[in-house]
Chains A and B, each alone.
Chain A
Amino acid sequence: MTIAAREASGQDSNTQRPRPVADAPVIELDGLSMSFGSHQVLQSLSGSFNGRCIGLLGPNGAGKTTLLHTLLGFYAPTAGTASILGRDIGREGKAIRELIGYMPERDAFIAGMSGVRFVRLMAELSGLPSKQALERAHEVFFYVGLGEARYRKLESYSLGMKQLAKLAQAIVHGPRLLFLDEPTNGLDPPARVRMLRLIREIRDSGSANLVVSSHLLRDVEECCDEVLILKDGHIANYCNLEEERKTNRKFLEIEVRHSVSSDRRSESAQDIFSAALRTRGCEVAIQNRRRMKAVLPETVEIADLYVAAQDEHLQIRKLDYKRDSLEDIFLKAMDDEPPSSRAANGAAANTAEGQA
């Protein structure tokens, strides 16, 4: 009988493993700060996060990895506190780490061990009895697609295989929360697709919540339902991607240039065209040096834009319907002033909305 079968049959129900506190948020931050000497990396982070798969985004040095490490207990917070699945990271570190699986960003393995022995060791350290650990190690290796390579030494694994082995050790003990730090780092496209598929499967299994830290927006967009954006140690934004997609209005992305006959070349083509659109009742925002965004009122048709362009001696070089992508959300968060309590309150409000 496999472990899964035993679990299903209700045997081994006399478990000693710590359990998450009922109805507690996955992660709750309460003024969490962390600094290395005089350099403050995390600055009073607050909020309650409940997503099934939370994407942790931010530019390099924003504090993503430090936040994960602080939650794992690698660093003691300099101020504030946090709880994971209802347990305080300061007081119940060991109990929390029994509920967590962690896939580090950098290469991390134990030299001289075969893959399956390594994962078995990790399972035993997480509290699985030896026999169950062995069984789970084999099963999890097949699950991540390394079944045939499980007796090979870890040193002989390719980069992609090492990433999968790291994922295997993170999930072998069946954690309730999984921290994945840059899981697709250094993977070729097929390996990346496989990794993201595994992440989505784990998410959809309902057995574990995930926090995926990445600087690759596409990866986060593909597997996360909520996104926490960090900037300079602050929470710049926290949103539910699906909600965000629904609420975002469709807009036009427009690129204009002066036509040959234009006599107003001293002025920017975008400025001229945006002024023309505004007189027609459109909402306009200039995106960058070449592109602008416009939301048209019901009374304005696309054809009117061409007329306006002709009147101003401009050429419309690009006209595209779009919705805000994660990239737009991310860039907007990066452009905003460093938020403090506003972001935290917004995060909490977002969560409340999500729960409602």
Chain B
Amino acid sequence: MSVYDRTYHGYKGPSTPTWSRFTVLSRYALQEVFRSRLFVAYFVACFLPTLVSTVIIYLRYNVEAMSLLQLDALDIVTIDSTFFYYGVVVPHTFLSLVLVMLVGPALISPDLRNAALPLYLSRPVNKTDYVLGKLTVLLGLAAAITIVPSLFLFFLQSALAGGEWIQEHGRIGPAMLIGFSVWIVVLSIYALAVSAWVKWKPFARILFLGSILVTAAVGNVFKALYGAWWGSIIVLNDLMIRIWNQLLGREIQAGVVPWMVAWICLGLFAAFSLFMLYRRIRAFEVIS
């Protein structure tokens, strides 16, 4: 069909593989996300902690630079699991939470508000492709500010410190990969579920963050009242701290939630979020 013809013709050209269709959704959603200058600024700012950590690691192993700055090796922190926990895990966990809060609710709620789902689902795209397409955006962005910098720092430290350090702290790398993967997967699925149930973006953001804070408050009240770990099962932060400590081999305090329970609770939370998400992804509402 040519512009000057203005007559209808079918299409007989090449076609992309069916499995790759969800990437179209991700690509368009990412383009929309990066159209916001505010978001771009935030995304860049997310790498500042990594920059600081990189400088610290670099200085730790650069005698010339240290002497230039009149620093002693003892003045610079030891690079171990505690450094990675406080220098990487804590700031990047918070940054990824904010990132998912900013992006997640904008992914599905506009489609629901504008009844766009029939348009997607009438094409060779099913519910799973749609969810995968949207989830990939969150996972990709969150991984870029969590997994990628943490592994970069781990490999940088390994390269500068050498074999002895790797032998002693080798578990940090896999821990970063597993811990952050669990965190961003759980968080992203939950954000999409909230986005699918609340059509108004600002309210979805408030609900997303509010629900995490409220459950944390309630859980801590239970812990304080009864002095038992089971209050932690609704506190996302407690569950993740338990998993991080286990993965990094850090000291486990007495009376905290058992690690197996933490894994099960996170799994159930993610499964429930996924269930709620799938319930909403349908072409049309059936009103009984």
Residues of A that sit less than 8 Å from B by CB? 2-7, 12-17, 36-37, 39, 69, 72-74, 93-95, 97-98, 100, 102, 104, 106-112, 121-122, 124-129, 132, 136, 138-140, 142-143, 147, 169, 171, 173-176, 179, 198, 201-202, 205, 207-208
Q: List 12 contacting pairs A-B, 8 Å CB cutoff, sorted by A.
A: A5-B2, A7-B12, A72-B283, A74-B284, A94-B124, A125-B21, A127-B16, A129-B14, A129-B15, A132-B11, A174-B9, A205-B8
- Of B8, B14, B114, which is within 8 A of A110 by CB? B114
14 more CB-based (< 8 A) A-B contacts, given A110-B114, A126-B124, A207-B10: A4-B2, A4-B9, A13-B12, A17-B12, A74-B121, A97-B123, A108-B119, A110-B111, A111-B110, A111-B116, A129-B13, A147-B3, A207-B9, A208-B8
Q: Give bound CA distance, A6 to B2, whole Å.
A: 11
In the complex, the answer to whether B9 meets A7 with C-beta atoms within 8 Å is yes
Residues of A within 8 A of B24 (CB): 121, 124-125
Q: Give bound CA distance, A338 to B24, whole Å.
A: 46
Contacting residues of chain B (1-29) with chain A, CB-CB under 8 angstroms: 1-3, 5-18, 21, 24-25, 28
Count A-B pairs with CB separation below 8 Å.
157
Q: Give bound CA distance, A162 to B97, whole Å.
A: 37
Q: What interface size band does chain B fall in?
A: 35 or more
> Of A107, A136, A139, A176, which is in contact with the most chain B CB atoms at under 10 Å from its CB?
A139
Q: A16-B14, A107-B114 are in contact. Are A127 and B21 (CB under 8 A)?
A: yes
In the complex, the answer to whether A169 meets B8 with C-beta atoms within 8 Å is no
Q: A36-B288, A107-B114, A205-B9 are in contact. Are A122 and B14 (CB under 8 A)?
A: no
If over half of B's interface residues share one DSSP class (helix, strand or loop), that class is named, otherwise mixed; here it is loop
- Say yes or no: is B118 at the interface (Cβ < 8 Å to chain A): yes
- Of A12, A37, A111, A136, which is within 8 A of B14 by CB? A12
Residue of B nearest to A14 (CB): B14
Q: Give bound CA distance, A132 to B9, whole Å.
A: 14
- Say yes or no: is B282 at the interface (Cβ < 8 Å to chain A): yes
Q: Smallest CB–CB gap between B83 and chain A, Å?
A: 42
In the complex, the answer to whether B1 meets A143 with C-beta atoms within 8 Å is yes
In the complex, the answer to whether B9 meets A111 with C-beta atoms within 8 Å is no
Q: Smallest CB–CB gap between B108 and chain A, Å?
A: 12
Residues of B within 8 A of A36 (CB): 286, 288
Q: Give bound CA distance, A27 to B126, whole Å.
A: 22
Q: Give bound CA distance, A48 to B14, whole Å.
A: 31
Q: Give bound CA distance, A9 to B25, whole Å.
A: 32
Residue of A nearest to B115 (CB): A108
Q: A69-B283, A98-B124, A108-B116 are in contact. Are A128 and B7 (CB under 8 A)?
A: no
Q: A107-B115, A205-B7 are in contact. Are A17 and B1 (CB under 8 A)?
A: no
In the complex, the answer to whether A110 meets B116 with C-beta atoms within 8 Å is yes
Q: Give bound CA distance, A132 to B15, whole Å.
A: 10
Q: Give bound CA distance, A25 to B105, whole Å.
A: 44
In the complex, the answer to whether A7 meets B14 with C-beta atoms within 8 Å is no
Q: Give bound CA distance, A104 to B284, whole Å.
A: 11
Residues of B within 8 A of A207 (CB): 8-10
In the complex, the answer to whether B126 meets A94 with C-beta atoms within 8 Å is yes
- Say yes or no: is B125 at the interface (Cβ < 8 Å to chain A): yes
- Say yes or no: is B32 at the interface (Cβ < 8 Å to chain A): yes
Q: Smallest CB–CB gap between B44 and chain A, Å?
A: 23
- Of A14, A69, A174, which is within 8 A of B11 by CB? A174
Q: Give bound CA distance, A175 to B126, whole Å.
A: 18
Q: When A and B form their complex, which 4 residue pairs have the shortest distance between CB atoms, in order from nearest?
A: A174-B11, A207-B10, A174-B10, A102-B122
Q: Give bound CA distance, A147 to B118, whole Å.
A: 25
Q: Give bound CA distance, A297 to B6, whole Å.
A: 52
In the complex, the answer to whether B119 meets A122 with C-beta atoms within 8 Å is yes
Residues of A within 8 A of B10 (CB): 174-176, 205, 207-208
Residue of B nearest to A205 (CB): B8
In the complex, the answer to whether A15 meets B14 with C-beta atoms within 8 Å is yes
In the complex, the answer to whether B12 meets A12 with C-beta atoms within 8 Å is yes
Q: Give bound CA distance, A264 to B113, whole Å.
A: 65
In the complex, the answer to whether B18 meets A201 with C-beta atoms within 8 Å is no
Residues of B within 8 A of A4 (CB): 1-2, 5, 9
Residue of A nearest to B32 (CB): A112
In the complex, the answer to whether B124 meets A97 with C-beta atoms within 8 Å is yes
Residue of A nearest to B111 (CB): A110
Residues of B within 8 A of A6 (CB): 13
Q: A69-B284, A143-B6 are in contact. Are A3 and B11 (CB under 8 A)?
A: yes
Residues of B within 8 A of A202 (CB): 8
Residues of A within 8 A of B114 (CB): 107-111
- Say yes or no: is B120 at the interface (Cβ < 8 Å to chain A): yes
In the complex, the answer to whether A201 meets B1 with C-beta atoms within 8 Å is no
Contacting residues of chain B (37-81) with chain A, CB-CB under 8 angstroms: none
Q: A36-B288, A122-B123 are in contact. Are A143 and B110 (CB under 8 A)?
A: no
In the complex, the answer to whether A74 meets B8 with C-beta atoms within 8 Å is no
Q: Give bound CA distance, A16 to B18, whole Å.
A: 9
Residues of A within 8 A of B120 (CB): 125
> Of A111, A138, A201, which is in contact with the most chain B CB atoms at under 10 Å from its CB?
A111
- Of A2, A14, A73, A104, which is within 8 A of B2 by CB? A2
Residues of B within 8 A of A171 (CB): 8
Residues of B within 8 A of A121 (CB): 24, 28
Residues of B within 8 A of A208 (CB): 8, 10
Q: Give bound CA distance, A32 to B11, whole Å.
A: 31
